[in-house]
Amino acid sequence: MADKPNLESAYALETPDDSRKLYAAWAATYDTQFADENHYILHEQVARHFALMGGFGPVLDVGAGTGLCGEALNARGIEPVDGTDISAQMLEVARTKGCYRTLFTGNILTGLDVTPGIYQGAVSAGTFTHGHVGPEGINTMLEAVRPQGWVVFSVNATHYQAAGFADKMAQLKLFISDYSATEARIYGPKATAPYADDMAILIAFRKA
């Protein structure tokens, strides 16, 4: 891991333990040294899209991190929001923001300790990306949502192509409805880093 956690070290993660170590080191400075400095807006894009689709609470925020998406959902009147993340340290930062009803650690790849169908919606911003979660994590989100509930999550555009998300969504066509895939910017227009023009795909669907 790099001396200073950054996007490159995040994209290079290989195991859940790698993720825990990186985000434990990054938690205290993530909002200022990554999100603010790089004009990161993906959490806003996901929250806005969820609201546009007509989504409402209770919502599960998967990969909640420091609570950026939870704040964005609350700002749009969407609550209650529960959050889960593999990093306990990131969730401690999220807890200070007061935008979640409940926070708990969990690994989307091995399933979450929640009652199936307990949520009206689920969101995720920045979790389905290089070194993190592939399309196999979608089933966990789908299981947590009740029928007709909205699921909205972002996928890094290059990861979408390389990891086979289109094939996964085709496999789920009997279990979902109102599917859409929309391009969105990850960083705002003032971003200047080498990855400033990176794009995400916003995946949205209802559970059938």
pLDDT in tens, 58-96: 999 999 999 999 999 999 999 999 999 999 999 999 999
The reported pLDDT for the residue numbered 69 is 98
Domains of the chain: 7-207 (3.40.50.150)
- 133 or 142: whose pLDDT is higher? 142
Overall pTM surpassing 0.85 (yes/no) = yes
Say how many residues make up the chain: 208
Give the helix, strand, coil percentages of the chain, each rounded to 5: 35, 30, 35
Q: Is residue 35 helix, strand or coil?
A: helix
Mean pLDDT across the stretch 31-46?
A: 94
Q: Which segment of 4-13, 22-31, 157-166 scores lowest on mean pLDDT?
A: 4-13
Eight-state DSSP code of residue 195: T
In what side-by-side order are the strands of the sheet with 81-85?
Answer: 102-105, 81-85, 59-62, 119-128, 145-156, 199-207, 176-185
**pLDDT exceeds 60 at position 47:** yes
Strands 102-105, 81-85: pairing is parallel
The reported pLDDT for the residue numbered 22 is 81
Contact 121, 142 (CB under 8 A): no
